[in-house]
Amino acid sequence: MLKISFVCPIFNKRKYLPMVLSSIKGQVGDFKREFIFINDGSNDGSNEYLKNTTKNWKNVKIIEQENKGPAIATQNGINQSSGDYIKLVGGDDIMAPDCTKFLLEIIKKHKSVGVFSRYKLLDSFKNIDFRINSVKNLRVNLNPLYDSIRSSYSGTSPNLYCNKTIKKSGGCNTKIFIEDFSLVLGIARYGSFCFVDNVTSFGPKNDPSRIMIGKQTQLIHDFNAALYYFIKKNNDIPNNFKKIACKKAIGRSEKWARRLKNRTYFNQMNLLRLKFWFGGRDFNNIIKSTCLYFYNNFNDEKIRYPINHSP
């Protein structure tokens, strides 16, 4: 029988934990399971609630660490996992009861290394429609690395990943703060991805504690940093892959500077874009420059784990 490792990093999510833990425990399906929680330095009572709630569960591991961010926390959980598949769960996300079962059937049928579904952000967790029904708009990408770079595939709670492939690839890049994009880039070299349009999980809307809302600068930086480290490690990938990575990284940094920092079009990233268009081929240094841009003249937000730090 296949085994699923539920890996859930938690940092100050006490108010969400009753529904998050109920969601994890309530997953249906004919598979073995283990539950790995990583307390990432919470100080709001999350750890105490977690221990009390799961004390009678079977196959539970609780890892405690100082606050180091989701990439290190998630990878610490993955390192302790023994399942065939990894079911990452956000500390403030809830899953439909048959989320894991549904994703497992797809990933097995198509022998993929990752399956991606959709999630929805809600103002309230009351009266959620958990129905998944039949598979909606299945797509299989047999060679997903280029599209992973171009489209920035990522995600935790709506997805399921092959554990063997994660460990082969190295998993989350612990040199950066945010976990999911670096994980997906790593496994994209080793097998196919499946995509469906079914909504399988839900998260809170307009909560500044969510990274995508409260830490947008960190998020954008870390997507570029993930590309920087990936290409530095995998320099054998084709140049057209590196070119699209440069375009994406420059575009992200340039839009961030204009939209969130009120910079004009005459900014450093557009100068870098011109250099790239006119034949710049030092791809990794171009992406590195898009990361360094976040450290200069934007002192209101400090990036955790700038590139080339030691984790």
Residue 275 phi, psi dihedral angles, 5° rounding: -60, -40
Nearest C-alpha neighbor of 157 from the set 68, 74, 47, 53? 74
Contacts of 178 (CB under 8 A, 6+ apart): 69, 70, 71, 211, 218, 219, 222, 223
The one-letter amino acid at 168: K
Q: Comparing 11-20, 204-213, 247-256, which segment has the lowest mean pLDDT?
A: 204-213
| pTM of the entire predicted model | 0.94
C-alpha distance from residue 75 to each of 4, 117, 224, 262 (Å) = 16, 22, 19, 36
Determine the pLDDT at residue 311.
47
278 confidence band (pLDDT: 50, 70, 90): confident
Q: Comparing 149-153, 154-158, 252-256, which segment has the lowest mean pLDDT?
A: 252-256
300 confidence band (pLDDT: 50, 70, 90): low
Contacts of 266 (CB under 8 A, 6+ apart): none
In the chain, which ranges are continuous DSSP H helix? 17-25, 46-54, 70-79, 99-109, 145-151, 163-169, 180-187, 211-214, 216-233, 239-259, 268-277, 283-292
Report pLDDT digits (tens) over 89-133.
999 999 999 999 999 999 999 999 999 999 999 998 888 989 998
Report pLDDT digits (tens) over 252-262.
999 888 876 66
